[in-house]
Structure 1
Amino acid sequence: MLDFGLVASGMAVGLAVAAPIGPVNLVVIRRTLRFGSLNGLVSGAGAALGDGVFAAMAAFSLTAAIDFFLKYELVLQLVGGIFLVILGLRTLMTHPHLNDREAEKISGVAARVFIATFALTVTNPATMLGFIAIFGGIASLSSAGHGYGHAVTLVLAVIAGSMLWWLGLSQFVSLFRQRMNDRLLEIVNRVSGILIAVFGVLVLARVVYKFFS
């Protein structure tokens, strides 16, 4: 029988980890404004899958995987920081146009963005540590004599909660899309590019600080 309390808890976790404004939120907002809510939702889905990976580690108590992320935390953060800086600079140098649709095929470019947001999520050990902290009470529900079925339910609920956030965000942002023009889109693109690059620089600065401390 489906444990609705467990589902509600998992969805709450998914919402909690997706909601804080960060690089993925900026990517989803920018792509929704330029290409519509479906493209923004696909972009967020990559992060939701990444959240699911960390949720599975916590729910199934995958110690080896957790140890791997902790052991190579600085390397992952270095990769993630560099990726953010490159993504930010690339976004900053792009000159988008609302009517420029031919190069934006949903099967190709959206798939790459899905992979990019997934990579942004899984290269952030802080996300994993946040899951471990949050799952301190919830994960016990998935392992205390309930078998793997409850753990699977919990992981799927986390993904559903995360997807619920991306659906709501993309739909909300799309309401403002009709008011967009190329000038406003250029401003959004530059601001999001700068902020994404700043996120990357902060991550790299943290890596340098931890490496030499």
Structure 2
Amino acid sequence: MEYLTLLVSGILVGVAVAAPIGPVNLICIRRTLKYGAVNGFASGSGAALGDGVFATIAAFGVTAAIAFVKTHSFWLQVLGGLFLIGLGIRTWLAHPHLDDSLPENALGDLLPVIGTTFFLTITNPATMLGFMAIFGGIAGFTVGSEDYGRALLLVASVVAGSALWWALLTGFVGFFRNRMSDRMLEIINHVSAGLIILFGLGVSGRVLWERFL
């Protein structure tokens, strides 16, 4: 059950960090509209790899700082929950447009696009800070292991969650390929924002329940 909880938590983290509509999401949406869902998903895989890099840094950093996490786990989890709630609200209030995306890569080779989404992900300081804050919310799941098995599982599940988001997003856009509009994009944004806020409330509610009740 503990490992199942860790797996589900990692997947939710992966979805939460990938879901907000930004440059990478818009690149994937635009390429899906132009080339199809498979191409769009392949474009998003670069972002999933970038999320894996951040997840590795955050997970093993938390694991190596067991004493610190044990001492400050309550506030780390509260911070993670509040960050998610704030991120969700910010995402809800955003008004993305398809025309805001980066220019299309005209080359048939996907490697430049994958490299672009990977670079955009790893060079975004907000993503790194977000990972550290969110991982603080589930830090307790990685504490107490003498090996790195839990951290490895968490990293793998985060990458899986990120990939799941790209599969869902590009599949949805591909299905409505001929009918996508800014309004549909805003609906996607609101759905992702709602999921992020619910996850943040879940993290905060769990730690407050354990602390005071």
Question: What are the superposed Cα offsets for residues 82-119 of structure 1, whole Å, 9 maximum, x if unpaired?
Answer: xxxxxx7971xx6x9xxxxxx653xx2x1111110000
Q: Determine the C-alpha separation between the residues in 1 that align with 2:102 and 2:24.
A: 15
Amino acid in the other structure paired with 1:134: I
Displacement of 1:139: 2.9
Q: Compared with structure 1, are the counterparts of its residues 61 and 90 closer, same or farther at alpha carbon in structure 2 (3 Å cutoff)?
A: closer
Letter in 2 for 1:53: V
Change (3 A) 1:53 1:28: same
Find the aligned partners of 2:4 and 2:43 in 1 and give their Cα distance: 28
Task: Provide the C-alpha distance between the structure 1 equivalents of 2:47 and 2:29, rounded to a whole number of angstroms.
Answer: 14
- Contact 1:11 / 1:159 at 8 angstroms: preserved in 2? yes
What do residues 38-91 of structure 1 show as CA deviations (whole Å, max 9, x unaligned)?
11001111111111111111100079xxxxxxxxxxxxxxxxxxxxxxxx7971
C-alpha change, 1:140 and 1:104, in structure 2 (3 Å) is: same
Question: Structure 1 stretches of 5 or more lacking a match?
Answer: 64-87, 97-102, 188-213
Match of 2:36 in 1: 36
Whether the 8 Å contact between 1:60 and 1:143 is mirrored in structure 2 is no
Pair 178,137 (structure 1): closer, same or farther in 2 beyond 3 Å: closer
Within 5 Å, which residues of 2 pair with 1:86-97? 91=103
Does structure 2 retain, via aligned residues, the 8 Å contact 1:142–1:151? yes
- After the TM superposition, list the runs of 4 or more consecutive aligned residues in structure 1 that deviate by more than 3 angstroms: none
- CA contact 1:11–1:162 (8 Å) conserved in 2: yes
Q: Percent identity?
A: 56
Show the 5 A alignment for 1:1-213. 3-61=3-61, 91=103, 104-105=107-108, 108=109, 110-178=110-178
Contact 1:143–1:151, Cα closer than 8 Å, also in 2:
no
In structure 2, list runs of 5 or more residues that go unmatched: 64-99, 183-213
Distance 1:122 1:37 in 2: 24
Deviation at 1:2, TM superposition (A): 7.9
Deviation at 1:158, TM superposition (A): 0.3
How many angstroms apart in 2 are the aligned matches of 1:53 and 1:127? Answer: 11
C-alpha distance in 2 between matches for 1:90 and 1:13 = 26
Q: How much does 1:144 deviate?
A: 1.9
CA contact (8 A) 1:28 1:44 kept: yes
SS in 2 for 1:177: coil
Structure 2 counterpart of 1:31, one-letter code = R
CA RMSD of aligned residues (A): 2.7
In structure 2, C-alpha distance between the alignment counterparts of 1:90 and 1:6, rounded to whole Å: 35
Equivalent position amino acid for 1:138 in 2: I
Larger radius of gyration between Structure 1 and Structure 2: 1
Query: For the Cα contact (< 8 Å) 1:59–1:143, is it kept in 2?
Result: no
**Distance in 1 separating the partners of 2:148 and 2:175:** 41
SS at 1:20's partner residue? coil
Aligned to 2:82: none
TM-score by length of 1: 0.62
Residues 1:119 and 1:176: Cα distance change in structure 2 (over 3 Å): same
TM-score, reference length from structure 2: 0.62
Is the Cα–Cα contact under 8 Å of residues 28 and 40 in structure 2 kept in the other structure?
A: yes
| CA–CA separation in structure 2 for the residues paired with 1:175 and 1:54 | 31
Count of matched residue pairs = 146
| Partner in structure 1 of residue 81 of structure 2 | none
Q: In 1, Cα distance between the equivalents of 2:14 and 2:178?
A: 30
